[in-house]
Structure 1
C-alpha cells in the first residue's frame, strides 16, 4: 500500500514538472533570449535527474521480499513405556536478579547485571512404576505397601529479560545467559517443591484411587500411605 502511494506521488510530481516545462517552452518561443535557453537546459537536466532518482527510489521500494530457507533434522534418542499421572498443576512467576562484578586489571571494577522474569508451568504427579500394593480379592480390598512421593514431571519455562546492564569489557556471553536460565529454572523448581502443589497432588491421587477402586467394588485399605509420602517429601524439602 505504501509503495503504491509512493508511485502515485512520483508520477504526479513528474506530470507537474512536464506541464511547467511545456509552459516555459511556449514562453521561449515568444522570446528567444539566451537566458531563457539556459533556464530551459537547467530544467531539462533537473527533470532528468529527478526522473533518475524517482526510478531508483521506486525500484528499491518495490524490491522482492527476502527468501528464507529453513531445514531441520529430528533424531529420536530413546522411547520407553511409562506410567506417570499428573495430579496437580502450578503456574509460577519468578523474579531472578543476576549481578556479576569483576575487576579490570585487578583495580577497576566492572559490573554487569540483568533482571529476568521466569514464567513457568509445573506439573506434579506420580510415577506408578514405584508403587507396590497387594490385592485381597476375597474381601475386595487393595492394600498399599509402598507409595511414591509426588514429583515434578514437567516444567515449561519462558524467560523475559529486563534491565540488562553491561560494560564494554564485561559483556554477557552465551554461557552467562545459559547459566541465568538454569539458575532461574532451579529457583522455580525449589519454589514449586516447597509450595502447596505436593499436598494438592496427594489429595487428588487419594481421591482418584478411591473412586477408581469403588467403581470396581473395591476399597482402599490404607489411603494414609499417600499422605505419609507427602509429609516425607515436605520434610525432605525443608531439610534441604
Structure 2
C-alpha cells in the first residue's frame, strides 16, 4: 500500500512537471509569435510618409548704390514671382526600438524629425537695372534666401505640417494598436503610451 501511494505521488509530480513545461513552452511560443508580429508591424510602418503642398509668393527686390559724394544713385529692382512645391516627409525606416519579451515591452527610442524640402520656381518680372548697378549672382543668392525665408513663414502658418503629423500618427497608431491588443506595453520618452498622439517626435 505504501509503495502504491509513493508511486502515485511520483506519478503526480511527473504529470505536474510535464504540464508545467508544456505551459511554459506554449507561453514562450506565444511571446515569440507576439514579438514577431510586432517586429513585422514596425517593418511595415517603416516607409517614407510624404505630405505635399504648393505655395506662391510675390517679392519686390530693390537695391541702390550711390556715387560721387552720394550725388548720383544707381538703382536696380525686380518683381519676383515664386511658385514652390513643398514636401514634408518622415522617413520611418529611421525608427529605433527595442523589444523586451520577458516584460512584454516595446520601447521606441527614436522617431525621426520631419524633413522639409522646398523647391521654388523663381521668375523675374519688370526687371530694371542701371549700367552702374546691374544684377549679379550675389543678387540672385539674396533673392533666393529671401524667397526661402518667406516660404518658411507661409509653411509655419499653414496646415501642411499638421497634416504631415496626422499622417505620421496614423502610421504609428498601427504599432500602438497591435501592442495594446497583444497585451504588450509601448514606451516612448520614458512613458507608457496610452494615446498614439504621445508618439509625436
The structure with the largest strand share of the pair is: 2
Q: Which has the higher contact order (CA 8 A, sep 6+)?
A: 2
Does residue 144 (structure 1) correspond to residue 108 (structure 2)? The answer is yes
- Match of 2:133, SS state, is coil
Whether 2:123 is the aligned partner of 1:160: answer yes
Q: Are 2:49 and 2:168, in contact at CA under 8 Å, matched by a contact in 1?
A: no
1:109-147: CA deviations, max 9, x gaps?
Answer: 222111111111111122446644333557866443443
Gaps of 5+ in 1: 1-82, 230-240
Unaligned runs of 5+ in 2: 1-45, 187-192
Deviation at 1:88, TM superposition (A): 1.6
Corresponding residue number in structure 2 for 1:173: 136
Deviation at 1:165, TM superposition (A): 1.7
TM-score (norm. length: structure 2): 0.58
User: Which residue of the partner structure matches residue 226 of structure 1?
Assistant: 199
Using the size of structure 1 for normalisation, the TM-score is 0.50
Residue 109 (str. 1) matches residue 73 (str. 2): yes
Correspondence for 2:50? 87
Output the CA distance in 1 between the equivalents of 2:152 and 2:48: 18
Q: Secondary structure at the match of 1:218?
A: helix
Tell me which moved more, 133-142 or 198-207. Answer: 133-142
Query: Contact 1:114–1:161 at 8 Å: present in 2 too?
Result: yes
What SS class does the counterpart of residue 169 from structure 1 fall into?
coil
Question: What is the Cα-based RMSD across aligned positions, in Å?
Answer: 2.9
* Count of aligned positions: 143
